[in-house]
Amino acid sequence: MTPFAVGPVERQLRRRLRAGPLHFTLIDPDKSPGAAAARLALGAVDAGSDAILIGGSTGISRSRMSEAARSIRRAVRVPVVIFPEGPRSITPDASAILFMSLLNSRNLELVIRAHVRAAPIVRALKLEAIPMGYLVIAPGMRVGEVGEADLVRRHDPKTAAAYALAAEMLGMRWVYLEAGSGAPAPVPAPLVRAVRRAVTVPVIVGGGIRTSYDARSLLAAGAQILVTGTITEEEGIGPAFRSIVREVVRARGR
Ligand code: 1GP
């Protein structure tokens, strides 16, 4: 494998994206450790979710991440991908890692320095790295604060599109628009539309997606992957979660 070749997980997700949008379920192993994470993942995949992201909390331990990755991988066949908060989140028990730069952070640690420490570890563990630009949009919630982000304003699609384009020009193969976990509203649809028009790489959208209406308008704006986390933490695999995933699956038929 040449150093930056697209790995098997990314290849599989890209192939699936050709048929239409996907849904990822974010599970926080601090809130749902081990078997609980596996139960959630099983329910999510049964409902139609296409991959499991693990991560979320700050200061999560490697053993928690490993335990969750192993239990989830025993329970489901979809990729289990690390959504990292730092080099400590790296476990070889996952299928891949979102190797992401927080594009609009003022803290160089989150833009590149942590990556300099993480890269040799990822390589040594033979973990597949998926290069991604991560952009925090207002309100940003905790990740906006901890990430010391110069938040992109909700009514500033031009700036968001320019960030995404820069990420693509730097060679990042995915862009993630994040309103912040638990945000009162998701990333605005016009901003998603502007980013989608600006780039050719897949556009992931997360933060504050609570209803099928949210999902439908983001998909109509061009979001290719929707990520939800809080909804399953609060309600498990309930009607709201199912209705969101149903929207994604339905959009594949269009
Ligand atoms: C957080 O985008 C994800 O990083 C999911 O957000 O928890 O609001 O669903 P929610």
Q: pLDDT averaged over the chain?
A: 95
3-state secondary structure the chain: CCCCCCCHHHHHHHHHHCCCCEEEEEECCCCCCHHHHHHHHHHHHHHCCCEEEEECCCCCCHHHHHHHHHHHHHHCCCCEEEECCCHHHCCCCCCEEEEEEECCECCHHHHHHHHHHHHHHHHHCCCEEEEEEEEEECCCHHHHHHCCECCECCCCHHHHHHHHHHHHHCCCCEEEEECCCCCCCCCCHHHHHHHHHHCCCCEEEECCCCCHHHHHHHHHCCCCEEEECHHHHHHCCCHHHHHHHHHHHHHHCC
Among the four given CATH numbers 3.30.390.10, 3.30.390.30, 3.40.50.300, 3.20.20.390, the one describing domain 8-13+21-253: 3.20.20.390
What is the pLDDT, as a whole number, of residue 3?
54
Look at residue 48 and tell me whether its pLDDT is greater than 60.
yes
pLDDT recorded at residue 167: 98
Report how far ligand 1's centroid is from the alpha carbon of 226 (Å): 9
Which pLDDT does position 85 carry in this prediction? 82
pLDDT tens-place string over residues 96-155: 999 999 999 999 999 999 999 999 999 999 999 999 999 999 999 999 999 999 999 999
pLDDT score recorded for residue 2: 55
Pocket-testing residue among 89, 178, 248, ligand 1, by greatest number of atoms within 8 A of Cβ: 178
What are the pocket residues of ligand 1 if the criterion is a CB atom closer than 6 Å to any ligand atom?
Answer: 26, 178, 181-183, 206-209, 227-231
